[in-house]
């Protein structure tokens, strides 16, 4: 009870700090809007993403098709709206995989220390010796091109960062009195880790997670661009850019719009991450 109240007041505190930065608030609103668009895509999109219209190939914007039509005569706006689903999934699910695995590895390594710590850190060394994007591309290519595989590849590729931050954070929390206290009353290790250590050590990860969503959207769009993400006709922003490559000369806007969508989403994540970092550590601002 006491713990929960403390957590709530801490959240309120972060929010109070975050509110001070207008950019962060705007970023948060933009992110919420993108999420809303993704959820409501079937309602919001004027057409189905795969609906082709042979008469309207590469048609300019019109009242019926606000952003025009692509090379197969599909409504670009609708495809952008539907595409938000794939891009967001890539960002959120990949980070979820990475964060969960990373938190597990990091907290176990940090909590137990000794050879467990040593072994997991050496394994992470191996992991991180492969450049992250190369690793993700290789994984995605080996598993075969699909949205699911791209998400797994991105998630697996970014685990080490989360694990290391978590471990460092756990190392400082581990020595705190309340952990000592629960050890003294003979609480199980699992209980100590999940009840006391993880919730208290997770702070530094929040920023990493927020920015991670952005960088996974970015890397995900790159995977889709080289054909390793969402498969046609399902729209994804990176894949839409790849699709528009052929008509780049005559219709540059076809590639322009999806790129702007990626940029705005990633920018919002980065701004919110920056804001959260300042809110969590107000010292940095002055």
Partner 1 sequence: MADTLLDIRNLAVQYQTDDATIYAVNNINLAIRQGETIGIVGETGAGKTTIAKSIMRILPNPQGKIVSGEIRFKDQNLLDLPEKEMQKVRGNQIAMIFQDPMTALNPIETVGYQIAEAIRRHNKITQAEADRRACDMLETVGIPMDRFGEYPHQFSGGMKQRVVIAMALACNPELLLADEPTTALDVTIQAQVLDMMRSLKEKFKTSVMLITHDLGVVAEFCETVAVTYSGEIVERGTVEHIFDNPQHPYTLGLFGSLPKLDTKDRRLKPIKGMMPDPTNLPIGCRFRDRCPDAIEACAAAPPDVETEPGHIVKCVRAKEKGGAAV
Partner 2 sequence: MLRYIIKRLLLLIPVLLGISLVVLILIDFTPGDPARMMLGAQASQEQVDALREELGLNDPLPVRYGRFLWGVVNGDFGTSLMTKRPVIDEMLERFPYTLTLVTIGTIFSVFLGIPIGIYAATRRHTWKDNAAIFFALIAVSMPSFWFALLLIRFFAVQLDWLPYAGVETWRGWVLPCGAMALGISALIARQVRSDMLEVLRQDYITTARAKGLSEQKVTYRHALKNAMIPVIMVIGGVFGSSLGGSLITEMIFSIPGLGQYIMTALNNRDYPVIQSGILIISTMFAIIILIVDVIFALVDPRIRSQYTKAKRKEGKQHGKQTEEAVEAA
Residues at the site binding partner 1, with contacts judged by CB under 8 A: 20, 285-286
- Least distance between partner 1 and beta carbon 14 (Å): 15
Q: In terms of CB distance, is 123 or 187 closer to partner 2?
A: 123
> What 3 state SS string does the chain have?
CHHHHHHHHHHHHHHHHHHHCHHHHHHHHHHHHHHHHHHCHHHHCCCCCCCCCHHHCCCCCCCCCCCCECCCCCEHHHHHHHHHHHHHHHHHHHHHHHHHHHHHHHHHHHHHCHHHHHHHHHHHHHHHHCCHHHHHHHHHHHHCCCHHHHHHHHHHHCHHHHHHHHHHHHHHHHCCHHHHHHHHCCCCHHHHHHHHHHHHHCHHHHHHHHHHHHHHHHHHHHHHHCCCCCCCCCCCHHHHHHHHHHHCCCCCHHHHHHHHHHHHHHHHHHHHHHHHHHHHCHHHHC
Q: Which two tokens stand for residue 173?
A: 């929390």
- Least distance between partner 1 and beta carbon 190 (Å): 40
| Residue with token string 């927020």 | 210
Which of these segments, 6-14, 42-50, 185-193, 265-273, binds partner 2 (CB under 8 A)?
A: 265-273
- Exactly one of 45, 197, 222, 276 binds partner 2 (CB under 8 A); which one? 222
The answer to whether residues 262 and 238 touch, using CB atoms and an 8 Å cutoff, is yes
- Exactly one of 1, 54, 129, 184 binds partner 2 (CB under 8 A); which one? 129
- Exactly one of 170, 218, 239, 276 binds partner 2 (CB under 8 A); which one? 218
20 binds, among partner 2, partner 1, none (CB under 5 to 8 A by kind): partner 1
- Least distance between partner 1 and beta carbon 168 (Å): 21
252 binds, among partner 2, partner 1, none (CB under 5 to 8 A by kind): partner 2
- Least distance between partner 1 and beta carbon 275 (Å): 14
Largest CA distance in the chain: 76
- Least distance between partner 2 and beta carbon 218 (Å): 6
Q: State how far the alpha carbon of 105 is from the alpha carbons of 13, 55, 101, 237, in Å.
A: 29, 55, 6, 33
35 binds, among partner 1, partner 2, none (CB under 5 to 8 A by kind): none
168 binds partner 2 (CB under 8 A): no
- Least distance between partner 1 and beta carbon 121 (Å): 26
59 binds, among partner 2, partner 1, none (CB under 5 to 8 A by kind): none
Please give the residues from 223 up to 262 whose contact with partner 2 meets the rule CB under 8 A.
Answer: 225-226, 238, 241, 245, 248-249, 252, 255-256, 258-259, 262
Binding interface with partner 2 (CB under 8 A): 122-123, 125-126, 129-135, 137-139, 141-144, 214, 218, 221-222, 225-226, 238, 241, 245, 248-249, 252, 255-256, 258-259, 262-263, 266-267, 270-271, 274, 284, 286
């Amino acid at each position: 009870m006491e713990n929960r109240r403390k957590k709530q007041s801490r959240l309120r505190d972060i929010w109070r700090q975050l509110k001070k930065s207008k950019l962060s608030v705007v970023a948060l609103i933009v992110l919420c809007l993108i999420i809303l668009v993704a959820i409501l895509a079937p309602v919001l999109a004027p057409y189905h993403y795969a609906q082709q219209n042979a008469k309207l190939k590469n048609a300019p914007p019109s009242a019926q098709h606000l952003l025009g039509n692509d090379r197969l005569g599909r409504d670009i706006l609708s495809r952008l709206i539907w595409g938000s689903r794939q891009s967001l999934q890539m960002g959120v699910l990949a980070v979820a995989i990475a964060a969960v695995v990373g938190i597990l590895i990091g907290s176990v390594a940090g909590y137990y220390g000794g050879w467990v710590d040593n072994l997991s850190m050496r394994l992470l060394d191996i992991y991180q010796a492969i450049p992250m994007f190369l690793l993700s591309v290789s994984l995605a290519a080996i598993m075969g091109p699909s949205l699911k595989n791209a998400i797994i590849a991105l998630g697996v590729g970014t685990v080490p960062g989360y694990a290391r931050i978590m471990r460092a954070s756990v190392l400082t929390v581990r020595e705190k009195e309340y952990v000592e206290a629960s050890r003294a009353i003979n609480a199980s290790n699992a209980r100590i880790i999940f009840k006391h250590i993880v919730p208290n050590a997770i702070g530094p990860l929040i920023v990493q997670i927020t920015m991670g969503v952005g960088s996974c959207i970015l890397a995900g769009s790159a995977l889709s661009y080289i054909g390793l993400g969402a498969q046609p006709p399902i729209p994804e922003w990176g894949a839409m850019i790849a699709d528009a490559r052929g008509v780049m000369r005559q219709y540059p806007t076809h590639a322009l719009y999806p790129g702007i969508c990626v940029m705005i989403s990633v920018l919002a994540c980065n701004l919110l991450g920056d804001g959260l970092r300042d809110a969590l550590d107000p010292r940095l601002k002055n």
